[in-house]
């Protein structure tokens, strides 16, 4: 039996979860199940400062930078407006250190929603703190260039979104591969030492029924299996 490649996700802090008596560290069940169904064994890691990522990622084959709360705008040189929520500096620092490490090492990496924002800011880009019309619970069409590199079967895909922030100034080494009709950056390729791509939308929302979204997760798993 072929061993499932192990995909690391940095957990997200939560102040409450019904199954816990205290604050927790969580990953989206839909995202974990989507990766499992794509053939991976996903594992949630604790965000911790000054991690030795070479040591912590031993035995892992890929990384998924997941969605979550907002990045502290100070990290891209701005003061936060009233829309910014769930900022956690420890979470930010752990995400940034992990991102820099995996992209430098060429570990196959998929960045989703907040994860794509993290990559952009790490590379010197900025964010729109609050979109004029946000994309919470929003579904739209996205035309993706180089779509096969993402694992998409089609050039035009249906994207399920949940975000109020978006890419503004693009960071270095990043290439826009897809936009929504309103101009929002929805997909990008990431110059790195290995396979690395980012999407603004949430593939886990519809992976069970959409071959493009399941294909994206499967492509990460395929790259991690090499």
Catalytic residues: 113, 202, 204
Residue 3, phi then psi, degrees to nearest 5? -75, 135
CA distance linking residue 93 with residue 209, whole number of Å: 35
CA distance linking residue 132 with residue 155, whole number of Å: 27
* Chain-centroid distance, C-alpha 173: 17
Residue 133, phi then psi, degrees to nearest 5? -125, 110
Strand 138-144 versus strand 62-65 pairing type: unpaired
């Amino acid at each position: 039996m072929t061993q499932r490649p192990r995909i690391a996700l940095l957990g997200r802090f939560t102040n409450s979860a019904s199954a816990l008596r205290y604050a927790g560290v969580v990953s989206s069940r839909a995202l974990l199940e989507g990766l499992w169904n794509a053939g991976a064994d996903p594992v949630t890691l604790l965000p911790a400062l000054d991690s030795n990522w070479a040591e912590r990622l031993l035995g892992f084959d890929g990384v998924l930078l997941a969605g979550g709360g907002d990045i502290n705008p100070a990290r891209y040189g701005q003061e936060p407006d009233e829309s910014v929520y769930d900022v956690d500096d420890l979470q930010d620092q752990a995400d940034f250190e992990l991102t820099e490490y995996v992209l430098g090492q060429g570990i196959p990496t998929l960045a989703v929603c907040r994860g794509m924002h993290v990559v952009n800011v790490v590379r010197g880009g900025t964010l729109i703190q609050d979109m004029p019309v946000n994309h919470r619970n929003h579904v739209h069409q996205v035309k993706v260039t180089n779509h096969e590199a993402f694992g998409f079967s089609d050039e035009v895909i249906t994207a399920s979104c949940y975000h109020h922030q978006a890419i503004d100034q693009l960071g270095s080494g990043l290439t826009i591969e897809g936009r929504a009709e309103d101009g929002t950056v929805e997909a990008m390729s990431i110059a790195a030492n290995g396979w690395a791509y980012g999407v603004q939308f949430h593939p886990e929302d519809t992976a069970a029924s959409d071959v493009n979204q399941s294909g994206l997760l499967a492509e990460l798993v395929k790259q991690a299996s090499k």
